[in-house]
């Protein structure tokens, strides 16, 4: 490291900031510059002109390719390195001083060792490059629930995405100056060598260090790294929840809106549910759906005991494949302009394309090769779009309310081809926490590794909880206290398959039928049958007008398979047992109670 380099442009606000809250930020930026040795430092102000200049830089160096400007104005294609297309869970670490604080649910490394390892990679890594300093706010800028961070990166692609996904720039910097506290994130794309790649979290230091990947969840540090891993750790200390959940408002024909927060694992339907279009008969009757958030939810109890939620993000980083005019017209409408596409295919007239969009044939695949169906899908299965939430036609007028929206129901769900019915309701909060804690789902392309393997993914937070799950479950349970007015908890499964391997439930817009039943339950109006696993609707308790379900579908979607659940509960007991003595007795006791009634 050449400590001799002087960075006169390091300091924002010049010497006037000495002794101010920004001093700590300036010191850190200088320290990072001395380690990484960039050629220049750019403080991001979040302005339109800055964004335009970034796009120009990336177009010039080929990292962004313009798309058809007639059909997709101001939209861009980024092709990432073929070895850098998803989150890398095996290279993601939570580095707490005590290993047990990270828990068996995280990869762990001692903080000193982790810093040494990753700092060695950062040394001199920005030589010849510009280092960008990105002050950002997660959540509406004037919300008491929002939190700020600063990401330092050498990737203009990351800056452009962070500008869409967060409140980035001058306003965030002003809030940091007022509050002092912020999360520090250091990122470099490095050599993009999968052997030299780490995503490290230091929750005790509110610090993130990410090296060697330019991909979404690894590189846009405001998202999974800050808003989930670090925030979940802070939330536990401060009495709130940071969750991998969408937030959606359901307005009934009487004009009443109920907000629902739902946790599904990556690529299991959050964006789709958040932007749902009601079936035609519902639309005609006056039902409306309002999108508040599609991936992350921060919530805390309000003065009335209810949980109030904000979406910490300002944009959507959504899965492209499967998005179509039929499945998700709101998403499709959102991404007709001012969008960054990553790893999609293109058509002959240079429009973005992915499997499931329409019947056209693409000419170039996601790597820019001539498309050859023998080489696999044209778009990468985890290809994504990045777009401002404000471009979504269903964006809720209350999405940016500083106090958040009150949550009526919490929903857990995963991909379960067998056993798990369409929907059931937990008996009470403790049972609901067990339902969340024992969630299982088949893995998807959102992370590297095998796809379609069933794994436990509590609250869809397996890859994202910044501390020991045993403590996390205890934290969830702690919300049930005098004065609380907690939402009801449900479990759904849109992915139940029939003997022919096809989905039994139409899903997408028709999922509103299930949400309507939930709201009916919240209001004490809808019927259900009690079973050991919770309250299940009969098919007749849902509005299934215009839905044709085979007898097999009815049986599997609304039935309760006692033998299957007995085996499932044995699996749940084994899973809870993995947390040893750290696990408070409440959930194992709840598991036992239900297992007994299944005998
Ligand atoms: N069968 C079925 N598929 C669905 C449904 N909802 C979503 N999908 C499919 O699931 C895939 C992922 O959906 P998303 O809504 O993007 O998932 P997500 O949870 O937002 O994903 P992340 O952004 O990775 O967190 C897409 O291919 C969708 O078409 C549904 O109700 N039924
Ligand atoms: O974090 C990402 O890269 C994308 C995402 O939403 C997820 O995987 O859940
Ligand atoms: Mn996600």
Q: On the CB side of 346, how many CA atoms lie within 13 Å of its CA? A: 23
Cα–Cα distance measured from residue 26 to residue 30, given in angstroms and rounded to the nearest whole number:
6
Residue 408: name the closest of 242, 526, 249, 255 by CA. Answer: 249
217 lines ligand 2 (CB under 6 A): yes
Q: Please state at what angle helix 429-437 crosses helix 469-477, rounded to 10 degrees.
A: 160
101 annotated to a ligand binding site: no
14-66+90-239: in CATH 3.40.449.10: yes
Pocket test for ligand 2, best of 217, 443, 444 (most atoms within 8 A of CB): 217
Predicted local confidence at residue 23, as pLDDT: 87
Pairing relation of β-strands 207-211 and 183-188?
parallel
- The CB of 400 under 6 Å from ligand 2? The reply is no
DSSP classification of residue 186: E
Is the shortest distance between the CB of 224 and ligand 2 below 6 Å? yes
- Positions marked active-site: 268
pLDDT of residue 238: 97
What pLDDT score was predicted for residue 28? 95
205 Cα to the center of ligand 3, angstroms: 24
Decide: 440 and 457 in contact? Cβ < 8 Å.
yes
pTM above threshold 0.80: yes
Can you give the residue ranges of every domain in the chain?
A: 14-66+90-239, 242-315+396-548
* Residue 492 alpha carbon to ligand 1 centre in Å: 13
pLDDT value, residue 4: 44
Question: For residue 531, how far is its CA from the centre of ligand 3 (angstroms)?
Answer: 32
- Name which residue sits closest to atom 32 of ligand 1, judged by CA: 507
* C-alpha dist (Å) from residue 4 to 26, 259, 431, 522: 18, 56, 60, 65
Answer whether 266 contacts ligand 2 (Cβ < 6 A).
Answer: yes
Q: Give me the pLDDT at residue 16, please.
A: 57
Q: Is the CB of 591 under 6 A from ligand 2?
A: no
Residue 167 known to bind ligand? no
Q: How far does residue 169's CA lie from ligand 3's centre (Å)?
A: 24
Label residue 112 left, alpha or beta by phi (over 0 means left) and psi (-120 to 50 means alpha). alpha
Q: Are 407 and 305 in contact (CB under 8 A)?
A: no
* Ligand 2 atom closest to Cα of residue 295: 6
344 within 8 A of 67, measured Cβ to Cβ: no
Residues of the chain with pLDDT below 50 are 1-4
> Are 67 and 76 spatial neighbours (Cβ–Cβ below 8 Å)?
yes
Torsion angle, CA of 238/239/242/247, rounded to 10 degrees? -130
Per-residue model confidence (pLDDT) at position 2: 40
Which residue lies with its CA nearest to atom 3 of ligand 2?
217
Task: Report the pLDDT value the prediction gives residue 11, as an integer from 0 to 100.
Answer: 63
Ligand having the closest approach to the CA of 243: 3
Q: What is the pLDDT of residue 17?
A: 60
ipTM: 0.99
**296 Cα–ligand 1 center, Å:** 15
- Name the closest-CA residue to atom 9, ligand 2: 266
In this structure, whether the domain defined by 242-315+396-548 belongs to CATH 3.90.105.10 is answered with no
How do strand 440-442 and strand 454-456 relate by DSSP bridges?
antiparallel
User: Does residue 556's CB lie within 6 angstroms of at least one atom of ligand 2?
Assistant: no
Closest CA to 315 of 222, 229, 443: 222
Atom of ligand 2 nearest to the CA of 244: 9
């Amino acid at each position: 490291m050449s400590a001799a380099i002087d960075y006169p442009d390091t300091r924002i606000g010049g010497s006037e900031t000495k002794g101010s809250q920004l001093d700590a930020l300036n010191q850190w930026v200088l320290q990072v510059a001395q380690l990484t040795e960039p050629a220049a430092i750019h403080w991001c102000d979040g302005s339109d002109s800055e964004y335009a200049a970034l796009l120009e830089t990336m177009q010039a160096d080929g990292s962004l390719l313009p798309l058809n400007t007639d059909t997709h104005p101001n939209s861009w294609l980024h092709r990432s390195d073929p070895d850098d297309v998803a989150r890398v869970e095996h290279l993601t670490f939570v580095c707490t001083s005590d290993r047990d604080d990270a828990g068996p649910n995280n990869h762990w490394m001692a903080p000193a060792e982790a810093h040494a390892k990753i700092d060695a990679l950062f040394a001199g890594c920005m030589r010849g490059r510009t280092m960008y300093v990105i002050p950002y706010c997660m959540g509406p800028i004037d919300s008491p629930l929002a939190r700020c961070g600063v990401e330092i990166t050498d990737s203009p692609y990351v800056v452009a995405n962070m500008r869409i996904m967060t409140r980035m720039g001058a306003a965030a910097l002003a809030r940091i100056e007022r509050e002092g506290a912020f999360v520090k994130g250091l990122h470099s794309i490095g050599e993009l060598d999968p052997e030299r790649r780490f995503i490290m979290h230091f929750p005790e230091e509110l610090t993130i260090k990410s090296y060697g990947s330019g991909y979404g969840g690894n590189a846009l540090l405001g998202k999974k790294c800050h808003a989930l891993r670090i925030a979940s750790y802070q939330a536990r200390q401060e009495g709130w929840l940071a969750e991998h959940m969408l937030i959606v408002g359901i307005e009934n024909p009487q004009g009443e809106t109920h907000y629902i927060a739902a946790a599904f694992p990556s690529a299991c339907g959050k964006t789709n549910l958040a932007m749902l279009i009601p079936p035609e008969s519902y639309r005609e009757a006056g039902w409306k759906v309002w999108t508040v958030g599609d991936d992350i939810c921060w919530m805390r109890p309000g003065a009335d005991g209810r949980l109030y939620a904000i979406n910490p993000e300002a944009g959507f980083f959504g899965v492209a494949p499967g998005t179509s005019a039929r499945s998700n017209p709101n998403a499709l409408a959102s991404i007709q302009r001012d969008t960054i596409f990553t790893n999609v295919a293109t058509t002959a007239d240079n429009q973005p394309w992915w499997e499931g969009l329409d019947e056209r044939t693409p000419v170039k695949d996601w790597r820019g090769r001539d498309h050859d169906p023998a080489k696999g899908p044209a778009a990468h299965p985890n290809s994504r779009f990045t777009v401002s939430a404000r471009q979504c036609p269903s964006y809720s007028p209350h999405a940016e309310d500083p106090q958040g929206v009150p949550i009526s129901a919490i929903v857990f769900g995963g991909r379960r081809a067998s056993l798990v019915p369409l929907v059931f309701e937990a008996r009470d909060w403790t049972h609901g926490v067990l339902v969340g804690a024992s969630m299982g789902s088949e893995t998807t392309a959102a992370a590297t590794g095998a796809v379609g393997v069933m794994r436990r993914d509590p609250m869809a937070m397996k890859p994202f909880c910044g501390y020991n799950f045993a403590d996390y479950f205890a934290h969830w349970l702690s919300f049930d206290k005098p004065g609380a007015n907690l939402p009801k908890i449900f479990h759904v499964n849109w992915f139940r398959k029939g003997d022919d391997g096809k989905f039994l439930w139409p899903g997408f817009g028709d999922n509103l039928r299930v949400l309507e039943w939930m709201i009916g339950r919240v209001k004490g109006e809808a019927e259900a049958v009690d079973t050991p696993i919770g309250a299940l609707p009969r098919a007749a308790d849902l509005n299934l007008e215009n839905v044709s379900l085979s007898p097999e579908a009815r049986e599997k979607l609304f039935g309760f398979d006692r033998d299957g659940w007995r085996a499932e509960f044995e699996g749940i007991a084994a899973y809870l047992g993995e947390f040893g003595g750290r696990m408070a007795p409440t959930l194992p006791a709840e598991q036992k109670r239900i297992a007994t009634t299944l005998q």
